[in-house]
Amino acid sequence: MKRDLVSLADWSAEEIWEALDLAAHLKRELRSGISHEHVLRGKTLGMIFQKPSLRTRVSFEVGMTQLGGHALYLGPDDIRLGERETVEDIAIVLSRYVDGIMARVFEHEIVEELARYATVPVINGLSDLLHPCQALGDMLTIWEKKRVLSGLTLAFIGDGNNVAHSLIEASAKLGLRFRIACPAGHEPKLEIVDAARALGAEVEILHDPKQAARGADVLYTDVWTSMGQEKSAEERRHAFHGFTIDLNLLETANPGALVMHCLPAHYGEEITYEASRAPGSAIFDQAANRLHAQKAVLALLLA
């Protein structure tokens, strides 16, 4: 039976830990010069992109290459999801050609529909609702830096967006306390918060960045305006004024707190350049760990 990665809510804590353990193993062996080209030799990943990408495209392509497989890029004009052809038909046809599908899209329903009709594994490379691959790379990074996950406090400063949603889901499964400080009207979706709390997770929704940062082990942020929200960029800059991770906010967190950002960053808005380069910054480590976390997912789902 095929396995998908549409949402971390669909994966058990054991399955998430299996991916993190494998990611760490693959990373160690890569650094030791050990090849893993046998893992997915002869396998092809079809990559559907509705949104432009740096980290997602490069990390999946490089990951497939390092595992001995091949990645096929399908850009916005190549298949025009739902316009030139239905998502159902695309899922069925691609399943006859490739061994797995990764999709970076706008509407989350597209990923769900791909998973419903594809007979090969489907990986959510990003949707407007969720970003599970980012959260896996982030959890790998925190684990590497802190050597523990359960009991830590992760404070997200900014919009209750797709990254925040997946971090909530990951925190619920792995035992982190999650706080978000956001302007009123920009909270994460209640159904995701409620589902996490139903698992016994501690999820706090706050409107004061200092209150959220106080005693936190991780300070995390993301852009205030995501792709597709450009028309409201000026309105968002006004709404999010004061929700910036800077050196003063960092001093409110626990000593040794990590600074994280999924990138790209708009310095001077959601984070200052100085905070991004502070001693506790893990921003570029988490970007690098997208590769290793996704290689683990690919190996688990496609091998």
Per-residue tokens: 161: 């967006």
Distance set, CA 191 to CA 80, 188, 195, 220, 221 (Å): 30, 9, 6, 22, 21
Helix (H, G, I), strand (E, B) or coil at 5: strand
Per-residue tokens: 283: 């921003």
pLDDT tens digits, residue range 168-190?
A: 999 999 999 999 999 999 999 99
pLDDT tens digits, residue range 131-141?
A: 999 999 999 99
List 57, 108, 131, 177, catalytic entry: 131
In terms of Cβ atoms closer than 10 Å to its own Cβ (0-12, 13-18, 19+), residue 33 is exposed
Predicted model pTM: 0.97
Q: For 156-164, what is the mean pLDDT?
A: 97
Please indicate whether residue 4 is annotated as part of the active site: no
pLDDT value at position 279?
96
Measured CA to CA, the distance from residue 247 to residue 173 in angstroms comes to: 30
For 8-131+290-302, which CATH class? alpha beta
Rounded to 10 degrees, the C-alpha dihedral 79/82/87/90 comes to -30
Nearest to 48 by CA among 86, 79, 82, 88: 79
Q: For 279-287, what is the mean pLDDT?
A: 98
134-286: same fold as 8-131+290-302?
A: yes
Rounded to 10 degrees, the C-alpha dihedral 273/275/281/285 comes to -20
List 222, 236, 261, 294, catalytic entry: 222
pLDDT tens digits, residue range 41-72?
A: 999 999 999 988 999 999 999 999 999 999 99
pLDDT value at position 228?
65
Domain 134-286 is classified in which CATH homologous superfamily?
Aspartate/ornithine carbamoyltransferase (3.40.50.1370)
pLDDT value at position 138?
98
Give the least confident one: 27-31, 78-82, 99-103, 111-115. Answer: 78-82
List 57, 104, 177, 236, catalytic entry: 104
For the four alpha carbons of 232, 233, 238 and 242, in that order, the dihedral sign comes to positive
List 217, 290, 292, 294, catalytic entry: 290
Nearest to 74 by CA among 66, 88, 91, 230: 91
Enumerate the domain spans of the chain: 8-131+290-302, 134-286
In this structure, are residues 166 and 134 in contact, taking their beta carbons and an 8 Å threshold? yes
Please indicate whether residue 138 is annotated as part of the active site: no
Please indicate whether residue 133 is annotated as part of the active site: no
Nearest to 206 by CA among 278, 274, 153: 153
Please indicate whether residue 38 is annotated as part of the active site: no
List 236, 262, 292, 294, catalytic entry: 262
Share of the chain above pLDDT 70, in %: 98
pLDDT value at position 145?
98
pLDDT value at position 227?
66
In this structure, are residues 62 and 291 in contact, taking their beta carbons and an 8 Å threshold? yes
Mean of pLDDT over the chain: 96
Please, what's the b/e burial string for 192-216 (b: 16 or more CB within 10 A of its CB; e: otherwise)? bbebbeeeebebeebeebeebbeeb
Please indicate whether residue 96 is annotated as part of the active site: no
Please indicate whether residue 28 is annotated as part of the active site: no
For residue 240, the one-letter residue type is F
Nearest to 133 by CA among 100, 172, 103, 177: 103
Q: Which residues contact 222 (CB under 8 A, 6 or more apart)?
A: 156, 158, 159, 161, 163, 164, 261, 262, 270
Q: For 276-287, what is the mean pLDDT?
A: 98
Please, what's the b/e burial string for 87-111 (b: 16 or more CB within 10 A of its CB; e: otherwise)? beebbeebbeebbbbbbbbebbebb
List 50, 134, 286, 294, catalytic entry: 134
pLDDT tens digits, residue range 216-254?
A: 999 999 999 876 667 677 888 999 999 999 999 999 999
Q: Can you list the positions of beta strands (E) in 89-238? A: 100-104, 122-126, 153-157, 177-181, 203-206, 218-221
> At residue 103, what are phi and psi to the nearest 5 degrees?
-130, 130
pLDDT tens digits, residue range 191-217?
A: 999 999 999 999 999 999 999 999 999
